[in-house]
């Protein structure tokens, strides 16, 4: 038995609908930030000109690593020595 063809003249075509955007399931919400919310240029320049103490420690620890020949040694010792040097300079 062959199926009878459908008459398409009298029926309207189906329209596709999009699912509405939903928030992620983990409870976070995505927020778009425009240019107005960005930091002013003056603050960016100040942050670049004077790195934070943590950044200074990071840089000094890397310098100590390079002085050792960039192999072996202890990254923790470099970090602690860098802390002592940087914080010693900032207090003095």
Host domain of residue 60: 51-91
- 63 domain residue, yes or no: yes
pLDDT digits (tens, 9 = 90+) for 30-65: 556 555 555 555 554 544 567 888 999 999 999 999
Number of compact structural domains in the chain:
1
Please give the residue that has the higher pLDDT: either 20 or 16.
Answer: 16
How many other β-carbons are positioned within 10 Å of the β-carbon of residue 56?
18
- 83 domain residue, yes or no: yes
- This prediction has a pTM of 0.43
- 29 domain residue, yes or no: no
- 33 domain residue, yes or no: no
pLDDT at 8 over 80: no
């Amino acid at each position: 038995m062959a199926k009878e063809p459908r008459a398409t003249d009298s029926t309207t075509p189906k329209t596709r609908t999009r699912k509405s955007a939903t928030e992620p399931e983990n409870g976070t919400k995505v927020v778009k930030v425009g240019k107005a919310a960005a930091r002013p240029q003056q603050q960016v320049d100040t942050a670049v000109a004077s790195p934070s103490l943590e950044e200074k420690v990071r840089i000094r620890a890397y310098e100590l690593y390079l002085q050792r020949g960039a192999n072996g040694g202890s990254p923790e010792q470099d970090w602690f020595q860098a802390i002592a040097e940087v914080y010693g300079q900032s207090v003095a």
